[in-house]
A and B are shown apart, each in its own frame.
Chain A
């Protein structure tokens, strides 16, 4: 009785048969349209010009929704011996972009037997961002980077650029920031630049490292997606400095010492 009833209802396609016989389970609608999907994102980064070049810093947190995915993320990446890319947004897309940039700059140098121009490098990143726009419109893989490099031909030999998600490129005169903690960082840097003890460009190296730490700490105060500084876990921001002669990474224990002596 039951069986004949079931047979008579078969009118649709094979999938309908499977569903009717309960041989496959229904896919929940919420999962199917991905509204539950939380992408991993990395957040606050900053860059500013100081007496010794350009300082680029980023906190270490990566989050997916409310979850802290990782507290040792590296968002400040060395692309070659004179350029640094820092990113806020999807680490999956950003690290792939960094890899592509690193390889294309190297390949250019090796095949053409000369270094790629600064303009060429900036365009390369811009193009990667624009190519990614389709993914961004679908709601995943957004990346909003900063790019710092040295340009020996320019009267101002260290340069800092920021981008929007579509690939528009802007040159920063004094500072730039990106990510969820950016409003706080921007306020701190604006304040220090205009009403601080002295303009950012006149500051020495240690002073500038301290300022970066304070700015990231301020951002972390109100933004859960910014990791700030974790002294117990000994997790400090990544800070890189682009000078005329190249890129230096400020060692983590040096940051710890400065932080202990002047901030905490």
Chain B
């Protein structure tokens, strides 16, 4: 029955609709690259969503915790195996995403008798300078978007994953209009982009809120959500500990502007 071509297409379409509905309420995760490193920021309610993968690679995710955990462990294993058998310099996000993740996600999505991954992930890889930072966004069906993989495309210094397409676009609009000069400004931009993304997801209106309205909206969400922010620190890129949580004092200082 399901092996008839039409049924298969229908099954895939149903499955896509189901996954999109599941992911829609997800809180956006923002990645911003600046001279000091890469900031990953999201707001959560009860669990961690930003993780260290390797010396220069971090990951953020939206979706089912079980699926996120499976994907996280796969990423950890792929990166660690390469880093152990060869060297840390041979671990490449570009290769990991294209060779390991994209085909596996696509296969799980299209094998309609098996369960797909209910997850959307954002990988960040820190380069030697902000110009060589790489962001890769992977969807449940294996689709991949990178900030720099196609020739001629302008390299963006940010990336976002959000529950809905509208949320993604709203966050990107904020990010493309701002330039982070340091951790403080990066935090502020990321919080605004997160707010815009979450706001758009729950609205029918396409227009983003005014500056003041956005601040108010974010302020009103702060009781419900707790901020989670991690940094890939370019200064300590040579050591084993480039990934670190953003100090609470820095977060509090920026969050105070929204309260």
Contacts and interface: CB of A to CB of B under 8 A. Distances in A.
A81 B240 contact: yes
A106 B52 CA distance: 10
B243 to A, nearest CB: 8
Nearest to A79: B240
Interface stretch (A48-56, A59-67, A86-94, A107-115): A107-115
Nearest to B80: A107
B83 A103 contact: yes
Given A110-B51, A110-B53, A103 B241 contact: no
Contacts, number: 24
Interface residues of A, number: 11
Contact of A107 (B48, B76, B239, B241): B76
Contact of B241 (A81, A102, A111, A113): A81
Contact of A81 (B48, B54, B84, B239): B239
B96 interface: no
Interface string B83-94: 110000000000
Contact of A103 (B48, B80, B239): B80
B206 interface: no
A103 B76 CA distance: 12
Contacts of B80: 103, 106-107, 110
Interface residues of B, number: 13
B240 A80 contact: yes
A111 B48 CA distance: 13
A93 B54 CA distance: 25
Given A110-B76, A111-B73, A102 B51 contact: no
B155 to A, nearest CB: 28
Interface string B39-63: 0000000001001111000000000
A81 B240 CA distance: 7
Nearest to B69: A111
Contacts of B239: 81
Contacts of B76: 107, 110-111
B83 A113 contact: no
A107 B54 CA distance: 9
Contact of A99 (B54, B84, B240, B241): B84
Interface in B231-254: 239-241
A113 B48 contact: yes
B202 to A, nearest CB: 31
A51 B53 CA distance: 37
Nearest to B83: A103
A99 B85 CA distance: 10
A103 B241 CA distance: 13
A164 B52 CA distance: 35
A103 B73 contact: no
A110 B19 CA distance: 28
Interface in B68-110: 73, 76, 80, 83-84
Interface string B161-175: 000000000000000
Contacts of A109: 52
A56 B208 CA distance: 59
A97 to B, nearest CB: 13
Contacts of B241: 81
B84 A110 contact: no
Interface string B132-175: 00000000000000000000000000000000000000000000
Given A110-B51, A110-B52, A102 B240 contact: yes
Given A80-B240, A103-B80, A109-B52, 15 more contacts: A81-B239, A81-B240, A81-B241, A102-B240, A103-B83, A103-B84, A106-B80, A107-B80, A110-B53, A110-B54, A110-B80, A111-B73, A111-B76, A113-B48, A113-B51
22 contacts: A81-B239, A81-B240, A81-B241, A99-B84, A102-B240, A103-B80, A103-B83, A103-B84, A106-B80, A106-B240, A107-B76, A107-B80, A109-B52, A110-B51, A110-B52, A110-B53, A110-B54, A110-B76, A111-B73, A111-B76, A113-B48, A113-B51
Interface of B: 48, 51-54, 73, 76, 80, 83-84, 239-241
| 4 smallest beta-carbon distances between A and B, as pairs | A103-B84, A110-B52, A107-B80, A81-B241
